[in-house]
Chains A and B, each alone.
Chain A
Amino acid sequence: MRKTKKAMKFAVGLVALSFVAAACGSGESETVSTDAPAVEAPGVSYPTALADCENVTYDYAKPESTSSGMTVTYDIAPEAVWEDGSPITVADFKGTWDAALNTPGSLSTVGYDQITSVEAGSSDKQVVATFKSVYAPYKGLFGGLIKASAVKNTADISGDFADFIPYSGRAYKMKSWSKDQVVFVPNDKYWGTDKAVVKKVVMVPKADQDTEIASIKAGEVDFIYPQYYAGITEAVAQDNITSSVQAGGDYEAFYFNQKCGPFADPIFRAAFSMSIDREALFEQIYIPISATGVLLQCGPIVPGPFCVGDEFAGSFDAGGAETLLTDNGWAKDGDGFWAKAGESAPAIRWIINTGNTRRESTQAYLIPLLQAAGFNVKADNCDAACYFQKRLPALDFDMAMYISTAPPDPAYLTGGFVCDQIPFAGNKNVGQNSQGWCNTEASDLLYAADAETDTAVRAANIKAVLRLMAQDHVLLPLFQFPKSGFWRTDKVGGPVEGELKNYTAFINFHQWTDVDGDGQIVIGAEQWPECLNPITECANSSWMVWTTAFPVSPGVWATTNDGDYVITNLVTGEPVVTVL
């Protein structure tokens, strides 16, 4: 009896306590709170700025082209069919154009918005795309066709392909996709002579680079394509593992979100950018990767015909940064952080993908230095799928650090840096300008470059844009990043090394051979997508396109290891360009 009384008292007390807790939580519904602690980074402000971001508008009108239009005529190979045997026709080209242009959240409409019509020519196997003006980088279009009959409405495919791509016009087709693996099997209907060699190709996510390396050494995967870091070759070293490290079109940079948040203030952004000593950072982080590497000075482009090489040279000027801030009404507060009069010091959210040791090391090195310089920087990281497929496209960050995988033609700069490719609710979140940078002069130059067939004039336009980027402190280029592949010679053979530095990475895996006879090739993937839609923000992730879209989507042009475009067997010959 005594025990029961005590137990009852205890239970009643606990219930009372819980109701007190409940009462403390009532009154206000949960809203996005600037002060709400993050799971990973307590004290970091969360994006109430997103609500403010929606109200940001840009006073930019794309210049009317003075050039006449053009048509591009594609002759589809008569034998080109989808995985079910249905022919690839003008309907698929039209559907791809419609989807890229009109799907809410389309990653980029650049180029497709120059097309006024896609019609059949002499038959369904001939496609005539009419452009309202001359569009020089037309080879970047129709590089990954969508099967029109696989979707209900080509004008909005945002709800399609969430976790499976059912079609294929290439050597393999997708058999299954899950968060644990993607399985490819030969596409029996593929018309090319380069048929799939191995009966099954499996790609599996590996949680981090240590697991990736352990897996290949243990023979659980046959090939890995890790982000290169100092010491990886030694870590993977084993008699039956071969490696190849090549320089391609990848580059790493810091990016500053200037649509909203602290870097919307150009003075603050400039001062912050000027406070980062890229030379010292390069010595700390990149020299160990490549003793002969050089700091990237061009901008968001690798050295070549479109880069002078000094656009961003001399960006570090700590003294100049301080002067700039103090001359514009900023002063250091009690915590030593720069704050404008009457306001609190802005917190800067720096995002990287968790599990990337090198970037985490960069944060560990640079954040204390920036804080000492008076900038309240906090790490605000999440996994790769969250980073590349959600937060970056939504501009939910202040500072970002990532590698861009760039195609050969610099037309990608248009999609990434013009004013009308900044995604916001008003334009149905279309665009890949994740920095929110709007410089009307730069936008005009980029659109002019796309309409310019004279290579020298085009190059001059691009270089002028890069100088404007440096002037506006849009980003800080860091390093032309090497591409590295490691594979087990006792498990996989053939031209493994052949396409490693290609924009489409290891796209030739259909020609690899199964050396150990287990009937499959297993590829370890460093990142794994959350969604597979090839048009929307899902496609912002390189690993998403490498592991799903590229292997199954046929295209007119393929990129080469040397940064060129070549036509594929989808067409019978070079598309015919006619200037009107």
Chain B
Amino acid sequence: MLRFIVRRIAWAFPTLLLVTFLVYVALRLGTNPVNSYLRSNPRASPEKIAEYKELNGLGSNYVFGYFNWLQNFLTFNWPRSIKGSREVFPALKDALANSLRLGVAATVVGVTIGLGIGMFAALHPGGRRDVTVNTAAFIGISIPPYISAVLLQLLFAVYWSRWFGETLFPTSGVYPAGHIGFNPVLMIKHMALPTIVVAIQIIAVYSRYMRSSLLDVLNSDYMRTARSKGISERRILIRHGVRNALIPIVTIAALDVGAIVGGLIITENVFDYPGMGVYFLKAFGDGDFPLMMPWMVLIVASILLFNLIADVTYAWLDPRIRLE
């Protein structure tokens, strides 16, 4: 296992280099960073333009330019954003923290409830509760996040304040206006609605995963053997059924968490939640190369990392699998 992990980490570096290089080429070709810079700084002097090109590795040769950018990136000599000339690292760090908070909370809530509901449905397949769960899951998957987001805002903020005098949950932001500093209670309150929106989708999907995975396991030969040996149904379910049903689901979950690092664009936009999705949307809209490249590196790295975690978790859960 250790050898596998070390080899995967060793492969991750060239993969990261290659993918970020491709991203660098794609951004240069697709967004014309120099034009974008001039749009935001139309009075930039030739010296400023040259400095921008130098710091961002926008020289004539793409390979040398990429390594020039990489050198600045690795030595933390990150160029400032083209709009407002702001430092990139604090903005990226805050966006990542906000997205991780939201993503992890929504995933934990969504996966926990989804798995529970999936188990509930799988125990009586074809029955009334199975049909109810399936229908609810289809509805949950079908409702786009921007619809559920607006509906929740209306219900818990607008109408709630009309009925009860004040909102139950805020409609936007990380903290209420005027707040300075860290307050976990206020933060959780502001995260409530976006977490529910994301969790709805996760619950719907994972309930379906768990239901089908558990049904497969419950109908397998070794489960029949276990029953024939007189083991209680409850013990069979928990010690054998659920554990084996979780194997494929855990790997999917690990990949999903990796994807969350990229931000929940629609949800964050509707709730004006300053996460990685909003960060990227704004950066891409402005063609802000200094903001986009570190974001891309972070996404690629997180996907590689969570792929590795998924593989290792899979091997750990299923002793039949040997990673070489």
* Chain A interface (Cβ < 8 Å from any Cβ of B): 11, 14-15, 18-19, 21-23, 25-33, 36-40, 46-47, 50, 105, 162-163, 176, 179-181, 183, 200, 202, 204, 206-207, 211, 214-215, 217-221, 238-239, 382-383, 385-386, 390-391, 394, 396, 425, 429, 520, 522, 530-531
CB pair A215 B286 closer than 8 Å: no
Question: What chain A residues lie within 8 Å of B240 (beta carbons)?
Answer: none
Question: What chain B residues lie within 8 Å of A530 (beta carbons)?
Answer: 83-84
Question: Is the C-beta of B6 less than 8 angstroms from some C-beta in chain A?
Answer: no
**Minimum CB distance partner of B165 in chain A:** A490
Question: Is the C-beta of B60 less than 8 angstroms from some C-beta in chain A?
Answer: yes
CB pair A18 B153 closer than 8 Å: no
CB pair A180 B285 closer than 8 Å: no
**Minimum CB distance partner of A392 in chain B:** B42
Partner of B29, one of A25, A207, A238, A522: A25
Question: What chain A residues lie within 8 Å of B35 (beta carbons)?
Answer: 30, 32-33, 36, 38, 46
* A-B pairs, 9 with minimum CB distance: A394-B42, A218-B157, A202-B178, A22-B62, A25-B62, A30-B34, A522-B177, A29-B60, A36-B32
- A176–B181 alpha-carbon span in the complex (Å): 12
Min CB distance A464 to B, Å, is 33
Contacts A25-B62, A26-B61 hold; do A200 and B178 have CB atoms under 8 A apart? yes
Question: What chain B residues lie within 8 Å of A206 (beta carbons)?
Answer: 272
* Chain B interface (Cβ < 8 Å from any Cβ of A): 14, 18, 21-22, 25, 28-29, 31-36, 38-43, 53, 58-63, 66, 83-85, 153, 157-158, 161-162, 166-167, 170-173, 176-178, 180, 269, 272, 274, 284-287
20 pairs of residues in contact across A and B, judged by CB atoms under 8 Å: A21-B25, A22-B21, A22-B61, A30-B32, A32-B35, A37-B32, A39-B36, A40-B285, A211-B171, A211-B272, A218-B153, A218-B157, A218-B171, A219-B161, A220-B173, A221-B177, A386-B286, A390-B40, A429-B43, A522-B177
Partner of B38, one of A25, A28, A32, A238: A32
- A53–B59 alpha-carbon span in the complex (Å): 26
Question: What chain B residues lie within 8 Å of A391 (beta carbons)?
Answer: 39, 42
Question: What chain B residues lie within 8 Å of A27 (beta carbons)?
Answer: 60
Question: What chain B residues lie within 8 Å of A385 (beta carbons)?
Answer: 83-84
What 18 additional pairs, Cβ within 8 angstroms, besides A26-B61, A211-B172? A18-B25, A25-B28, A25-B62, A32-B35, A36-B35, A39-B31, A39-B36, A200-B178, A214-B172, A218-B171, A219-B161, A220-B167, A220-B170, A220-B173, A383-B285, A390-B41, A530-B83, A530-B84
Question: What chain A residues lie within 8 Å of B14 (beta carbons)?
Answer: 11
Question: What chain A residues lie within 8 Å of B28 (beta carbons)?
Answer: 25, 30
Question: What chain A residues lie within 8 Å of B61 (beta carbons)?
Answer: 22, 25-26
- A410–B266 alpha-carbon span in the complex (Å): 46
Question: What chain A residues lie within 8 Å of B177 (beta carbons)?
Answer: 181, 202, 204, 220-221, 520, 522
Question: What chain A residues lie within 8 Å of B172 (beta carbons)?
Answer: 211, 214-215, 220
- A176–B178 alpha-carbon span in the complex (Å): 10
- A32–B166 alpha-carbon span in the complex (Å): 53
